[in-house]
């Protein structure tokens, strides 16, 4: 029995031992197995460095005196041109990057050709030259077909075996295209990529081609197509084409510097106003980067495919695996626009010295200026000094030096010009301009202003918030008595948090708090009654600025610039009479799209009518890095910085931008339906050539 | 009518004057009397202007068919046989430029030819195979009248190096301007054999070098030939040149890298184009700068009307301090994108207008512009009357322009037409091979590159070196501290606030042959003035003297004169408000620098230089805005004398 028991025990122990041993072998094997994987990864990483993209935009890697053309290109502006029989494309010459033949087993070459006929007869030559330029190896990849789509871009690729005995850093590979079409049809070559990657993947993580053939979107049309059967369409004002989303994780984004793109478009009417957009949005759908190529033509040929292109510099902060690249067309007029064959090329930051040399624009790289949205350099506009009589200049000066609070507005219903209401601790003055004279009138508030207050205005009405009593008082100006008389009052909680007050179309008022809350009040005799309370957004630590104006169209919007999750945000709201509530403006995407130059909360902003148009602009003032006055405009998707503002006509050398302290008021003080800038300038230390002064500047 | 009657009388008088002068020259032993010499019987003036008609193809010929009836200078003289026996006589006429020549004799041994006398511009009949012409037999006591003609042409020795594919490109060695002397040599049949063939045929060389016949007959062995009479006529004719600036601008397409771009020819007009007619007619071409990659700048993205009073030192300091690299635009100075855009020939006022075009948003440009003459000269007094753009504005801030009046070596017909315009060999170390190369550039015995400059810009003197470089205050970009960014220029620099530097440079490609070749600052005296010539280092390719002058005087008036007096052994730079009021501003001679001896063209340009080339400059190009308006320069007159 014992023997049997022992046997059983032995069997059980043997099984256990076998299992333990198997597990050990498995784990040890697994551990041992990891090594080659790690090694392999490392090799791939190393080999991955040996990747070269020749986009023919710069002379880098190209033989001298290369024949380039601007008449056709896949990405950027240039391509290589082969105009005649037996002509050659620009040759890419790349020094062999290593002496280790194990790292250069194959050379993978991918390139695009566009013929001006249906024929392509060419040879892609892969050769090796020694340091004396002697050719020591030659191999060709033959392309011979007569069924290509004319003027379209066609992709080709081939893998050449690298001759191991020629692996030497003193040699170079030379790759070029050779036109052997006896009829001499012109062909173009662009975006030639050369890699020594052993595990060659046909679809490059550095380029994408979108032809809308497999799209399931409703915005795909078979009416026109550049290639295949389908294209995407945007029909009518503010219509969008299909939005192509490319997860950042799908591309090689870690050293992404810019995205070069080209697209084909076709219009049905000659007037085009559209933007081809490349944006990057975060996982919540907020745009963290927005860039567009503006298509603006008065008389564009219709029903003909044209090519557009551009290059978007991508800020580092937009490079996250969880972000998505979105590509779409935003149509801005009644036209119908078709888009097809979109091609994007990921351009990495070159780690060589020159590419670190980031300037606003590099004409050595791209010789024709292509304006980037909200990216310097900006165009300048000059505000001219308006001469005013010095008689009451001290009163205007005092506005900036002595007052507790200053607001501007059309307070006097008989005067169409903006006036300045200066509130001092013991008095109040109303300043206006009449034929270059400063008119200063002492006025009164009835009842008198409280001790601690703040002041707001809309449509000529002045609202005084009593910080001690938590009330809001509504004052209206009576010209005859030169008094602001109390009309109504409201009890409001936490008046110190008020960012702005709006008088709405239905005569309700809305009090916006810096928390992102808005409360609506209805006037009932001498009191305001709370109607509703709503949280529009959540700003951090009361970091919110309020502006009201018709930024987008004839409707008035409230623009809130705020900080949320430590990021600068902005949103536009409109008052809806039917619901007596504030909603996100339907005229704006409200994605807080930011560009290279952001709409920063910390800057100062002023409503600005620059060109006597119904839509107002925003004047942005910053004096941290340098004195910067920028004029910007809102549109459906985002905002656009239009101009930098500088000054002209100032006395001697006293440009307002030189001063250490600047304070600004804006308004239509002259009555020309445009906004003027009143700017007070002073210095912390005495500077003999910069006198303290206050001036008014206007635009012609 | 009275005036007309006087003309023959004058002709007779002038002829008589020549005759009288020359009849006094009596042969000592030769038995040959040359008398009644009338040298230019069909041209009665002492000065002749070069005729530019077709000179681009043929080189200058003196005289042209427009200047004398037969396009030649007629001459006549009488040979008298004063011996007892009949002889056959032979004669030859030689000419030599006297204004721009080396002495015929070696100053250390006057029995020997000067080492560079073979470079002198001398000639005879243009067919060099015509050696001495036979005059005929003359009996004892008899005379024989010789009537003949000649003309002065380029490449008078018919040197093969000036030929291109069998054609004698005489324009590659054009006649020099200045005074010409003539020499008539008469010899008997017996003694003609004593004259070596490299003298009778100036195409031939004495071993490896040409022999100057003027040295040979006047100072060398030729003066000892018994039956040989030499009559020398010093500085009989003066030659000047003045291209008509209203004859149009030729576009030499091969100089334009962008010649195949669409729109390149959009601005061609009847007075500026690339037609064969314009090739033959125009005396001026549009000059296209070579733009070196090193001249790239990160420029402030600002466009300013520079002369409207707003661009002050403070504005310059502001842009300098507050525009960081990421705000700037990387550009190279541009060249014209379209031919004829920036240079015009005004056929009414016979002037050339150049303009650096204005910038606009998106098309920021600092474009170099200029004109170049098309007919080369070796040596001469090049005088330019011009009103070039002002450089300093009311606040004495520089607009970044360098006004340049300069000479550069002439190139060939095509790129393979090389080695015809080489400079004299450099015997010490050789020349640096390329003018743009670095310190390690190869040294070679001969190069064709030569350049003589007026470069007028806002910079500081380098000499004396104890005062250079100026110490500029450091600045910082603080918007709330004006004093941090608005730093003042040092007193030394402010002293010359309203002045610009007239920089006079000779590019000698760092040849060490001159006996006083040196680096740093080197004193050199001329006409009682002391100049400080500066060379950065011993492989630096140029030497410069500087003169500080008021911008308002040079460029704010209607015109000003600039003169480069290029002589075989020295270069003198002069400027002045009128041609008869020029004063010296620069001087360099062969003791410190190799003076070029090859054929050069004149260029007038308005350029944007990278100020890294001009260390110590108070204003850096990258902080100077792009022009809002054109910078216009006008060239009214060019003379070469």
What is the mean pLDDT of the segment spanning B25-41?
81
How many pairs of residues across A and B have Cβ atoms under 8 Å apart?
Answer: 90
- Closest-CA residue in chain A for B337? A367
Nearest C-alpha of chain A: how many angstroms from B293? 10
Q: B305 and B168, same structural domain?
A: no
Report if residue A661 sits inside a domain: no
CB B322 to CB A690 under 8 A? no
Q: Is B78 exposed, middle or buried (0-12, 13-18, 19+ CB in 10 A)?
A: middle
Task: Give how far B519 is from chain A: nearest CA, Å.
Answer: 34
* Whether residue A44 sits in one domain with residue A65: no
Q: Is the pLDDT reported for residue A460 higher than 80?
A: yes
Strands (E), A424-554: 428-434, 437-446, 453-458, 461-466, 471-478, 483-491, 498-503, 509-513, 517-524, 527-535, 544-549
- Report B:300-359 residues touching A (Cβ under 8 A): 301-303, 310, 312, 314-315, 318, 322-332
Task: Measure the CA–CA gap between A219 and A242, rounded to whole angstroms.
Answer: 5
Q: At B26, is the pLDDT very low, low, confident or very high (cuts 50, 70, 90)? A: very low
Q: Are residues A84 and A173 in the same domain?
A: yes
Chain B residues in contact with A627 by the CB 8 A cut-off are: 322, 479
Residue B543 · residue B531 · CB < 8 Å: no
B328 → closest Cβ in A359, A380, A658: A359
B323, B364, B482 member nearest A687 (Cβ): B482
Q: Which of B258, B310, B366, B476 best probes binding to A when mutated, by most A CB atoms within 10 angstroms?
A: B310
Instruction: Establish if A623 belongs to a structural domain.
Output: no
A653 contact residues in B (CB cutoff 8 A): 312, 314-315, 395
Interface of B with A in 176-205 (CB under 8 A): none
Q: Are residues A228 and A345 in the same domain?
A: yes
Residue range A93-108, pLDDT digits in tens: 888 888 877 777 788 8
Among the candidates B216, B240, B264, a domain finishes at B240
Does residue B119 sit in the same domain as residue B215? yes
Contact between B298 and A625 using a beta-carbon 8 Å cutoff: no
Query: Is it the case that residue B582 has pLDDT exceeding 70?
Result: yes
Mean pLDDT, chain A, rounded, equals: 86
The region, left, alpha or beta by phi > 0 then psi within -120 to 50, assigned to residue A146 is alpha
| Chain B nearest CA to A375, separation (Å) | 9
Domain boundary among B208, B240, B272: B240
- Statement: residue B7 has pLDDT above 70: no
Q: Is A660 on the interface with B (CB under 8 A)?
A: yes
> Tokens for B39?
């040298």
Residue B518 lies inside a defined structural domain of this protein: yes
Structural domain boundaries, residue A10: 1-48
CA gap A537, A571 in Å, rounded: 9
Indicate whether B263 and B194 sit together in one domain.
Answer: no
Q: Do A369 and B328 touch (CB under 8 A)?
A: no
Q: pLDDT above 70 covers what percent of chain B?
A: 95
* Secondary element (H or E) of residue A115: strand A106-115
pLDDT digits (tens, 9 = 90+) for A121-156: 999 999 998 776 777 888 999 999 988 877 777 888
At residue A349, does pLDDT exceed 60? yes
Task: Evaluate whether residue A440 is within a structural domain.
Answer: no
Between these two residues, B294 and B373, which has the higher pLDDT value?
B373
Q: Are residues A199 and A67 in the same domain?
A: yes
- The answer to whether residue B3 sits within a structural domain is no
Tell whether A658 is within 8 A of chain B (Cβ): yes
**B483 vs A220: CA distance, rounded Å:** 62
Distance CA B524, CA B589 (A): 9
User: pLDDT above 90 covers what percent of chain A?
Assistant: 51
Nearest partner of A137 among A151, A127, A148, A150, judged by Cα: A127
Residue A309 has what pLDDT? 76
Residue A223 is assigned to a structural domain of this protein: yes
**B362 at the A interface (CB within 8 A)?**
yes
Residues of A in contact with B327 (CB under 8 A): 360, 376-377
Domain that holds residue B590: 249-640
The answer, for A10 touching chain B at a CB cutoff of 8 Å, is no
pLDDT of residue B489: 93
Out of A361, A623, A689, closest to residue B479 by CB: A623
Task: Give pLDDT tens digits for A161-195.
Answer: 888 888 888 788 999 999 999 888 999 998 898 88
Nearest to A362 among B330, B479, B483 (CB): B330
Q: Is residue B1 part of a domain?
A: no
Residues A168, A82 share a domain: yes
What six digits make up the tokens of A39? Answer: 């090694």
Which residue of B301, B331, B479 is in closest CB contact with A624? B479
Whether A318 and A304 share a structural domain: yes
Do B301 and A377 make contact, defined as CB atoms within 8 angstroms?
Answer: yes
Q: Are residues B219 and B263 in the same domain?
A: no
* Residue matched to tokens 């690298």: A162
Judgement on whether residues B143 and B255 belong to the same structural domain of the protein: no
Minimal CA separation from B361 to chain A, in Å: 6
Residue B6 lies in a domain: no
B234, part of any domain? yes
Specify if A137 maps to a domain: yes
CATH of the domain at B210: 2.60.40.10
A377 touches chain B (CB under 8 A): yes
pLDDT of residue A509: 96
Phi-psi region of A216 (alpha: psi -120 to 50; beta: other; left: phi over 0): alpha
Test mutation, A58, A68, A363, A375, chain B, max B CBs within 10 A:
A363
Q: A11: cis peptide before it, omega within 30°?
A: no
Look up residue A656 and give its DSSP letter: G
- Cβ(A84)–Cβ(A172) under 8 Å? no
Q: Does B479 touch chain A (CB under 8 A)?
A: yes
pLDDT at residue B40, as a whole number? 95
**What is the predicted pLDDT for the residue at A347?**
74
B306 close to B391: Cβ distance less than 8 angstroms: no
Same domain, B280 and B414: yes
Integer Cα distance of B82 and B139 in angstroms: 9
CA-to-CA dists, residue A562 to A455, A538, A572, B274, angstroms:
21, 9, 11, 63
Of B318, B329, B481, the CB nearest to A361: B329
Residues A77 and A16 in one domain: no
Joined tokens for residue A660: 């250490």
**Separation of alpha carbons A510 and A520, rounded Å:** 4
State whether B312 and B441 are in the same domain. yes
Residues in chain A: 700
- Identify all chain B residues contacting A361, using CB atoms and an 8 Å cutoff: 301, 329-330
**B481 in reach of chain A (CB within 8 A):** yes
Asked if residue A179 and residue A84 are part of one domain, the reply reads yes
Q: Is residue A292 a part of any domain in this protein? A: yes
pLDDT computed for residue B104 by the predictor: 97
According to the model, what pLDDT value does residue A197 have? 62
Q: Is A590 helix (H, G, I), strand (E, B) or coil?
A: coil
In a domain, B438, yes or no: yes
B475 and B608 together in one domain? yes
Cis peptide before B597 (omega within 30 of 0): no
pLDDT band at residue A23, thresholds of 50, 70 and 90? low
| CATH number of the domain that residue B277 is part of | 2.60.120.200
Q: Give A199's pLDDT tier (boundaries 50, 70, 90).
A: low
Q: Which residue of chain A is at minimal alpha-carbon distance from B394? A: A652
Q: What is d(CA B563, CA B384) in angstroms, rounded to the nearest whole number?
A: 6
Residue A114 and residue A199 in one domain? yes
> Pick from A291, A320, A351: which residue ends a domain?
A351
Enumerate the H helices of A328-484 as residue ranges. 353-356, 393-401
Residue A354 touches chain B, beta carbons under 8 Å = no
Q: Does the distance separating the beta carbons of B329 and A380 come in below 8 Å?
A: no
- At residue A404, the pLDDT reads 94
Provide the shortest C-alpha distance from residue A106 to chain B (in Å): 36
Domain closes at, from A204, A229, A261:
A204
| A659 contacts on B by Cβ (under 8 Å) | 482
Is there a single domain that holds both residue A76 and residue A195? yes
CATH number of the domain residue A295 falls in:
2.60.120.260
- Do A253 and A152 have their domain in common? no
Q: Please tell me the predicted confidence (pLDDT) of residue A119.
A: 92
ipTM of the complex: 0.86
Of A357, A360, A380, the CB nearest to B329: A360
Q: Measured between alpha carbons, how far is A309 from A365 in angstroms, rounded to an integer?
A: 15
Contact (Cβ atoms closer than 8 angstroms) between residue B460 and residue B617: yes
Q: Which of A351, A384, A410 is the last residue of a domain?
A: A351
Q: Are residues B260 and B177 in the same domain?
A: no
Whether residues B513 and B454 share a domain: the answer is yes
Same domain, A98 and A140: yes
Closest CB to A376 among B327, B331, B363: B327
The model's pLDDT over B239-274, given as tens digits with 9 standing for 90+, comes to 999 999 999 999 999 888 888 888 999 999 999 999
Same domain, yes or no: B164 and B225 = yes
Asked if residue B2 is part of any domain, the answer here is no
Instruction: Work out the minimum CA distance from B565 to partner chain A, whole angstroms.
Output: 39
How would you class A276 by CB atoms within 10 Å of its CB: exposed for 0-12, middle for 13-18, buried for 19 or more?
Answer: buried
Q: Is the pLDDT of residue A78 over 70?
A: yes
Specify if B180 maps to a domain: yes
Tell whether A488 is covered by a domain: no
Q: From the CA of B382, how many Å to the nearest CA of chain A?
A: 37
Question: Which of B215, B240, B265 is the C-terminal boundary of a domain?
Answer: B240
Q: How many structural domains compose chain B?
A: 2
Determine whether the interchain pair A371/B362 forms a contact, defined as Cβ–Cβ distance below 8 Å. Answer: yes
Number of domains forming the structure of chain A? 3
> Do A66 and A80 form a contact (C-beta atoms < 8 A)?
yes
Percent of chain A with pLDDT over 70: 91
Rounded to an integer, the average pLDDT of A487-493 is 94
DSSP of B106-175, one letter per residue?
Answer: ETTEEEEE-TTGGGS-EE-SSSTT--SEEEEEE-TT-EEEEEEEE-EESSTT--GGGEETTEE-GGGGPP
B233 with B260, same domain: the answer is: no
Residue A27 placed within a domain: yes
- Among A297-311, A338-352, A489-503, B450-464, which is the least confidently predicted range? A338-352
Best B260, B316, B393, B482 residue to mutate vs chain A (most A CBs within 10 Å):
B482
Taking the model in full, what pTM does it have? 0.78
Interface mutation target, options B300, B393, B479, B628, chain A, most CBs of A under 10 Å: B479
Residue A354: per-residue pLDDT: 43
For residue A42, pLDDT beyond 60: no
Cα separation, B508 vs B489, in Å, equals: 34
Angstrom distance (rounded) from CA A181 to CA A190: 19
Query: Which A positions 668-697 lie with beta carbon below 8 A of chain B?
Result: 683-685, 687, 689-690
**pLDDT beyond 80 at B209:** yes
> Radius of gyration over alpha carbons of chain B, in Å?
28
Contacting residues for B199 by C-beta, under 8 A, at least 6 apart: B211, B213, B216, B217, B222
Distance from CA of A522 to the nearest CA of B (A): 46
List A410's β-bridge partners, or say none: none
Question: Is the CB of B314 less than 8 angstroms away from the CB of A687?
Answer: no
């Amino acid at each position: 029995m014992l023997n049997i028991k022992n046997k059983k025990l032995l069997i059980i122990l043997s099984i256990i031992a076998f299992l333990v041993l198997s597990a050990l072998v498995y784990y040890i094997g697994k551990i041992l197995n990891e090594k080659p994987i790690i090694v392999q990864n490392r090799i791939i990483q190393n080999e991955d460095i040996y990747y070269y993209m020749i986009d023919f935009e710069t002379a880098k890697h190209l033989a001298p005196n290369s024949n380039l053309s601007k008449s056709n290109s896949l990405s950027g502006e240039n391509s290589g041109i082969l105009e005649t029989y037996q002509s050659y494309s620009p040759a890419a010459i790349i020094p062999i990057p290593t002496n280790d033949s194990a790292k250069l087993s194959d050379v993978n070459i991918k390139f695009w050709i566009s013929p001006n006929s249906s024929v392509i007869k060419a040879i892609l030559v892969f050769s090796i030259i020694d340091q004396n330029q002697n050719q020591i190896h030659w191999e060709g990849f033959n392309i011979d077909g007569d069924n290509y789509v004319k003027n379209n871009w066609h992709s080709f690729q081939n893998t050449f075996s690298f001759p191991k005995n020629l692996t030497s850093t003193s040699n170079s590979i030379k790759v070029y295209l050779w036109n052997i079409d006896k009829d001499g049809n012109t062909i173009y070559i662009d975006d030639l990529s050369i890699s020594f990657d052993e595990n060659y993947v046909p679809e490059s993580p550095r380029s994408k081609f979108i032809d809308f053939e497999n799209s399931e979107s409703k915005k795909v049309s078979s009416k026109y197509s550049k290639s295949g059967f389908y294209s995407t369409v945007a029909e009518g004002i503010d219509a969008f084409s299909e939005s192509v989303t490319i997860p950042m994780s799908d591309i090689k984004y870690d050293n992404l510097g810019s995205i070069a793109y080209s697209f084909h478009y076709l219009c049905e009417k000659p007037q085009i106003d559209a933007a081809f957009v490349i944006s990057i949005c975060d996982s919540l759908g907020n745009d963290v980067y927005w860039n567009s190529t503006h298509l603006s033509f008065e008389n564009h040929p219709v029903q003909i495919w044209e090519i557009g292109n551009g290059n978007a510099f991508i800020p580092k902060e937009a490079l996250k695996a969880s972000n998505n690249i979105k590509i779409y067309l935003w149509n801005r007029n009644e036209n119908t626009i078709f888009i097809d064959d979109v091609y994007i090329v990921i351009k990495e930051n070159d780690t060589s010295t020159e590419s670190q040399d980031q300037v606003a624009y590099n004409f050595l790289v791209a010789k024709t200026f292509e304006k980037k949205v909200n990216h310097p350099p900006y165009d300048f506009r000059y505000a001219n000094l308006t001469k005013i009589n010095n008689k009451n200049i001290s009163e205007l000066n005092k506005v900036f030096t002595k007052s507790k609070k200053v607001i501007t507005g059309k307070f006097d219903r008989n005067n169409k010009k903006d006036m300045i209401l200066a509130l001092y601790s013991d008095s109040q003055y109303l300043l206006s301009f009449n034929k270059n004279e400063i008119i200063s009138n002492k006025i009164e508030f009835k009842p008198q202003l409280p001790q601690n207050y703040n002041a707001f205005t809309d449509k000529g009405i002045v609202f005084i918030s009593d910080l001690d009593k938590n009330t809001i008082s509504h004052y209206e100006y009576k010209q005859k008595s030169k008094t602001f008389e109390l009309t109504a009052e409201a009890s409001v909680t936490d008046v110190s948090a008020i960012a702005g007050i709006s008088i709405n179309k239905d005569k309700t008022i809305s009090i916006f708090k810096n928390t992102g809350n808005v409360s609506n009040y209805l006037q009932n005799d001498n009191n305001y009654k709370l109607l509703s309370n709503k949280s529009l957004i959540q700003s951090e630590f009361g970091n919110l600025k309020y502006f009201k104006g018709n930024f987008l169209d004839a409707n008035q919007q409230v623009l809130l610039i705020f900080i949320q999750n430590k990021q600068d945000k902005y949103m536009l709201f409109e008052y809806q009479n039917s619901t007596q509530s504030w909603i996100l403006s339907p005229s704006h995407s409200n994605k807080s799209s930011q560009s290279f130059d952001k709409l920063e909360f910390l800057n100062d902003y002023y409503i600005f009518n620059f060109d006597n148009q119904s839509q107002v602009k925003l004047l942005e003032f910053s004096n941290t890095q340098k004195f910067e006055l920028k004029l910007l405009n809102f549109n459906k998707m985002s905002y656009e910085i239009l101009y930098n503002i500088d000054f002209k006509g100032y006395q001697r050398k006293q440009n307002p931008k030189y001063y250490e302290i600047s304070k600004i008021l804006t308004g239509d003080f002259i009555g020309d339906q445009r906004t003027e800038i009143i700017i007070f300038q002073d210095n912390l230390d005495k500077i003999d050539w910069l006198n303290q002064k206050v001036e008014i500047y206007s635009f012609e | 009518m009275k005036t007309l009657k006087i003309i023959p009388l004058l002709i007779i008088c002038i002829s008589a004057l020549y005759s009288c002068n020359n009849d006094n020259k009596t042969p000592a032993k030769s038995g040959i009397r040359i008398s009644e010499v009338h040298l230019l019987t069909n041209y009665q003036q002492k000065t002749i202007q070069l005729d530019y008609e077709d000179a681009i193809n043929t080189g200058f010929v003196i005289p042209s068919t427009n200047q004398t009836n037969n396009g030649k200078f007629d001459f006549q003289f009488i040979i008298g046989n004063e011996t007892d026996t009949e002889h056959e006589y032979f004669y030859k006429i030689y000419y030599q430029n006297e204004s721009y020549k080396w002495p015929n004799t070696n100053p250390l041994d006057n029995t020997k030819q000067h080492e560079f006398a073979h470079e002198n511009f001398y000639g005879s009949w243009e067919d060099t195979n015509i050696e001495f012409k036979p005059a005929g037999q003359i009996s004892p006591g008899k005379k024989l009248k010789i009537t003949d003609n000649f003309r002065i042409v380029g490449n008078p020795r018919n040197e093969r190096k000036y030929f291109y594919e069998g054609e004698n490109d005489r324009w590659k060695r054009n006649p020099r301007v200045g005074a010409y002397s003539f020499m008539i040599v008469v010899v008997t049949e017996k003694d003609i054999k004593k004259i070596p063939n490299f003298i009778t045929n100036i195409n031939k060389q004495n071993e490896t070098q040409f022999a100057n016949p003027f040295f040979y007959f006047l100072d060398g062995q030729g003066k000892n030939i018994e039956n040989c009479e030499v009559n020398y006529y010093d500085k009989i004719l003066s030659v000047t040149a003045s291209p008509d600036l209203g004859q149009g601008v030729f576009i030499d397409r091969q100089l334009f890298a962008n010649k195949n771009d669409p729109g390149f020819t959009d601005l061609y007009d009847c007075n500026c184009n690339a037609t064969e007619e314009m090739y033959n007619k125009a005396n001026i071409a549009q000059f296209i700068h070579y733009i070196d990659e090193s001249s790239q700048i990160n420029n402030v993205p600002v466009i300013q009307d520079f002369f409207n009073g707003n661009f002050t030192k403070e504005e310059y300091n502001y842009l300098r301090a507050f525009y960081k690299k990421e705000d700037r635009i990387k550009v190279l100075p541009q060249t014209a994108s379209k031919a004829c855009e920036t240079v015009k020939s005004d056929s009414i006022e016979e002037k050339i207008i150049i303009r650096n075009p204005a910038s606009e948003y998106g098309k920021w440009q600092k474009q170099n512009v200029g004109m170049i003459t098309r007919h080369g000269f070796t040596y001469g007094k090049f005088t330019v009357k011009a009103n070039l753009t002002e450089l300093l504005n009311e606040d004495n801030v520089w607009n970044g322009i360098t006004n340049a009046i300069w000479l550069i070596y002439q190139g060939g017909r095509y790129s393979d037409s090389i080695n015809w315009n080489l400079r004299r060999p450099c015997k010490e170390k050789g020349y640096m091979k390329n003018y743009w190369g670095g310190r390690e550039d190869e040294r070679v015995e001969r190069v064709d590159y030569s350049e003589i400059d007026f470069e007028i810009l806002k910079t500081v003197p380098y000499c004396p070196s104890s005062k250079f470089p100026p110490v500029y205050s450091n600045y910082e970009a603080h918007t709330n501290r004006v004093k941090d960014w608005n730093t003042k220029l040092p007193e030394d620099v402010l002293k010359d606030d309203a002045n610009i530097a007239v920089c006079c440079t000779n590019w000698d490609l760092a040849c060490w042959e001159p006996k006083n070749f040196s680096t740093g600052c080197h004193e050199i005296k001329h006409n009682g003035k002391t100049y400080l010539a500066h060379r950065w280092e011993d492989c630096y390719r140029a030497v410069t003297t500087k003169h500080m002058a008021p911008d308002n005087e040079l460029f704010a008036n209607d015109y000003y004169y600039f003169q480069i007096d290029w002589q075989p052994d020295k270069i003198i730079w002069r400027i002045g408000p009128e041609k008869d009021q020029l004063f010296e501003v620069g001087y360099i001679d062969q003791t410190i620098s190799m003076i070029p001896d090859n054929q050069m063209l004149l260029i007038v340009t308005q350029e944007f230089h990278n100020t890294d080339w001009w260390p110590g400059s108070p204003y850096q190009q990258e902080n100077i805005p792009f022009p809002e308006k054109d910078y216009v320069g006008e060239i009214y007159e060019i003379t070469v004398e």
